[in-house]
Amino acid sequence: MSNLTLLAKILRLKELKITWFQFRQRDTELHLGIKPYKNGCRCPVCERRCRIVRQGQEARRWEDITLFGRKIVLWYAPKEIECPTHGRTQEEIPWAAAHARITYRLEYRLCALCQIMTQKAAGAILKLPSSTVSDLLHRVIARSRADHRIRGLVTLGVDEISYCKGRKFATIVYDLDRSYVVWVGKGKGRETIDRFFHEALSPAQRARIRWASCDMSQAYIGAIKHHCPTAQLVIDRFHLAKALNEAVDEVRKEEWRQLGAEGRHAIKGLRWLLGMHSRNRTKGDTRLLNRLRTSNRHIHRAWVLKDEFDHFWHFQYPGAAKRFLKRWMTAALRSRLPSLRRFVTTLRNHFDNILTFIKRPLTNAVGEGINRLLKILKNRASGFRGLEPFADLIFLTIGDLDILDLDILAQIPSDLRTL
């Protein structure tokens, strides 16, 4: 077996023939002269084998994977061909994308590493500068998603996240059925969500959306009702429970301001106990809260109303849930607690969209879980100067398109992906 054949087997260069090899840069780089074997001279558009017009004049280089601590560099001079359909053009390069300077399998390795580690660590493994890794990653993801379209979106979730200092926000749109991100847009207002419906979805796709979940933002609610009039909107349970907890805590704060030193000592430490769910409290905690019936009736009344409201989420029939919610709102108004009366106003403004939860208990829990992963991504990268590189990592890790399963990378055998 010759040295060239041995190198081809070690590097698993299928359908490629090595013509020469040379170690450079003090033996840290292995340079290989290659050419297509039995599959060259193909048109890059129709893939037809064509007549050679001119032999390659100037050799081009493509960086390949790092093997045994050495960077592999491929050299080849592409030929010019004459296609009967597409005219005179350069032959297809089977191991790399058009105008690329790295091979398909280096692109695959780059994406796979950036999914699980920082770009700096991935660059150290691949012998590439961090700035080059970021640029290459953006090009690969942009090319992969160039012709991508959102498909099968039935259950929509919308939320906003902060991605940079200085109150910079981005709107994230989720597919709640399949738990992935379908769109990322800069900003959090009505214009941003309108851009999603106009640019990312067709009228037929908007008509197929049946369910939507969001917080109580009028921008998101108005956009969903305008663009998807047939969709059932569900106000997110998490944000509603958060608003109720804030109303109860406002009662505690108001009592704290009015009480003296002795009274403050009696209600000290109640902040987290009042916000705790009933299933997480001990019997001792419940007895402590029940003592407030005689010592502080306002806080006790707010706590009782909060615990009663939790029963709403367990109803199975909309009629029974509607009657319960109306009775609870009447009781909250009679309590004469200002913060709870404001919460009742919130319930009235979103009454129908809150009752929709009984038909389908849809929440943004999937979206909140994805937001936690997005925070991990942001912390792992130590911040971003803009939304574009952050969106690249979002689509790479939690996007609706599996970039490591694309047709553009299908030419890589499965055994090569472990190199």
Question: pLDDT tens digits for 295-334?
Answer: 888 888 998 899 999 999 999 999 999 999 999 999 999 9
Q: Using the predicted structure, report yes or no on whether residue 347 has a pLDDT greater than 90.
A: yes
Q: What crossing angle do the helices spanning 351-359 and 338-349 adopt, rounded to 10°?
A: 70
DSSP result, 365-416 = HHHHHHHHHHHHHHHHTT--SSHHHHHHHHHHHHBSS-GGG-GGGTTS-GGG
Angle at 264 between CA 262 and CA 266, to 5 degrees: 75
**pLDDT tens, position by position, 360-414:** 888 777 777 888 888 888 777 666 677 888 888 889 888 888 877 754 444 454 4
Determine the pLDDT at residue 118: 85
**pLDDT tens, position by position, 27-71:** 888 999 988 877 778 888 888 888 888 887 788 999 998 888 888
**pLDDT tens, position by position, 264-288:** 777 777 778 787 887 888 888 888 8
Sign of the alpha-carbon dihedral angle for 114, 119, 121, 122 = positive
State the Cα–Cα distance between residues 381 and 379, nearest whole angstrom: 5
pTM check: above 0.85: no
Sign of the alpha-carbon dihedral angle for 129, 132, 134, 137 = negative
Token representation of residue 120 = 């700096």
**pLDDT tens, position by position, 159-208:** 888 887 767 888 999 998 888 899 999 988 899 999 999 999 999 999 99
Token representation of residue 208 = 């197929």
Sign of the alpha-carbon dihedral angle for 390, 406, 47, 18 = positive
Determine the pLDDT at residue 418: 45
Determine the pLDDT at residue 194: 93
**pLDDT tens, position by position, 252-262:** 888 888 877 77
Determine the pLDDT at residue 407: 45
Determine the pLDDT at residue 408: 44
State the Cα–Cα distance between residues 319 and 324, nearest whole angstrom: 9
Q: Using the predicted structure, report yes or no on whether residue 235 has a pLDDT greater than 80.
A: yes
Using DSSP's 3-state secondary structure scheme, residue 348 falls into helix
Domains and CATH numbers, the chain: 1-95 (no CATH), 155-236+364-400 (3.30.420.10), 243-359 (no CATH)
Q: Could you say which DSSP state residue 314 is in?
A: G
Q: Using the predicted structure, report yes or no on whether residue 99 has a pLDDT greater than 50.
A: yes
Q: Using the predicted structure, report yes or no on whether residue 148 has a pLDDT greater than 60.
A: yes
Q: Using the predicted structure, report yes or no on whether residue 73 has a pLDDT greater than 70.
A: yes
Determine the pLDDT at residue 294: 78
Rounded to whole angstroms, what are the CA distances from 54 to 41, 51, 88, 90, 96?
11, 9, 10, 10, 21
Question: Quick one: average pLDDT of 111-116?
Answer: 88
Question: Quick one: average pLDDT of 143-162?
Answer: 87
Question: Quick one: average pLDDT of 91-103?
Answer: 87
State the Cα–Cα distance between residues 93 and 188, nearest whole angstrom: 43
Question: Quick one: average pLDDT of 104-131?
Answer: 88
H-type alpha helices, 96-189: 104-114, 119-126, 130-144
